[in-house]
A = this chain, B = another copy of it.
């Protein structure tokens, strides 16, 4: 088992990474917990619910299970409210612990439920998608969507543990693996050129989910994310580099309607766009743009953005959370393994959009 420690002002905790770890989730329940609520969706619960339940039951606590419908469309205030109602019906007090079993949707929503039920109870992340394992379960961002914007309602709230079972990735559709690998590559691009090289060399093993390769990729991603988050829990500075490719990506997701492209797919494509932008505004070598494009394509993500129309692109990028005071800031790379936040001239942005979007 690999252990990655996360330390933030909001709390310190460990990420445990190992094959077949679901069987040990029960050991993460703190002794003073009064009860445990396992929250999942029918897809994931159907596959892994029994294993996790068995492990939780060994903790000797009162266990209850709540399932929410599967899908980003249900990451809403309404579903959240159904979670609150369930917790209240079960008469759960402040020492109850939520176990979030699922992808980023379950993790984000359960994290926010934990952050706000009775002003905060403890929760454990058990991420089951690659994206959730390398990204959303680490760092304490929790949220639900609002009809007017993704993740607009949320909190910074840290779990007490993250239990990552890499074996469960075997039942994920190929597209989900590709989407998760986009975030893996991101860490190399913003912080660790050596890891980016490693990803290039191991792309076939990663796509095939070879245990050693995927285990290392998850571990290194968690380490890099944990490092960033410990420096800047609340995204007042450095943490913004994690948004490489995300301003473009969110615009794609929103522009096509959420769910058309997966988050990671949009981010994969967004990173190609960010690389092109970096070449224009901060000297990122054009040869490296092509390496980014090739690796994003190799993991199976799109590298050409949809044609949303220029006005729509601009509109969608401005409503994004990262837009402050009307100016658009982007995360750009002076080189592979380096990233910074920078306001970019509208002109350069236009040229990049022109170059990277599909011609209808």
Which chain A residues have a beta carbon within 8 Å of chain B's beta carbons? 9, 34, 77, 81, 84-85, 88-89, 91, 93-95, 112, 115-120, 141-143, 146-149, 152-156, 234-235, 318-319, 321, 323-325
- A85 contact from B89, B91, B148, B325, Cβ within 8 A: B148
Instruction: State whether A119 touches B324 (Cβ < 8 A).
Output: no
Among B152, B155, B234, the residue within 8 A (CB) of A115 is: B155
Residue of B nearest to A91 (CB): B319
A92 vs chain B, min Cβ distance (A): 10
Residues of B within 8 A of A117 (CB): 152-153
Cβ-defined contact, B143 with A88, below 8 A: no
B155 touches A143 (CB 8 A): no
Given known pairs A9-B9, A81-B77, A88-B146, the reply for A321 and B94 (CB within 8 Å) is: yes
Knowing that A84-B152, A85-B148, A119-B156 touch, tell me 17 more A-B residue pairs with CB under 8 angstroms: A81-B146, A84-B153, A85-B146, A88-B146, A88-B148, A93-B321, A93-B323, A93-B324, A95-B325, A116-B154, A118-B152, A118-B154, A119-B141, A119-B142, A119-B155, A119-B235, A120-B234
Please give, as numbers and ranges, the residues of chain B lying within 8 Å of A325 by CB-CB distance: 34, 93, 95
Overall SS of chain A's interface: mixed
Cβ–Cβ < 8 Å partners of A235 in chain B: 119
